[in-house]
Amino acid sequence: MSKAREIRLSEEVVRAIEAHLVELSAGSVEEYVEAVLRERLRREGHLASYSPEEEREITRRLRDLGYLD
């Protein structure tokens, strides 16, 4: 996991997330907020879809399957 920083959220937002963690498929407020922000940043092209390690693993798997030289 990469280094973390602390951020502040309004109590209203935190309570709303806490009240719906199961529905949101998240284990914590932090997990949910990071997942939502990560997805948004990826969708808008501001964050890579895969980490360098994931990219290497995908490339290796595709090569093993014969899709890449």
Tens of pLDDT, residue by residue over 16-60, are 999 999 999 999 999 999 999 999 999 999 998 888 888 899 999
The whole model's pTM is what?
0.69
Total domain count, the chain: 1
Q: Is residue 36 in some structural domain?
A: yes
Q: Is residue 50 in some structural domain?
A: yes
Residue 50's domain spans which residues? Answer: 11-64
Asked if 17 and 24 count as a contact pair (C-beta separation under 8 A), the reply is yes
Q: Is residue 1 in some structural domain?
A: no
Q: Is residue 4 in some structural domain?
A: no
Q: Is residue 42 in some structural domain?
A: yes
- Residues 18, 8: Cα–Cα separation, whole Å: 15
Q: Is residue 59 in some structural domain?
A: yes
Q: Is residue 2 in some structural domain?
A: no
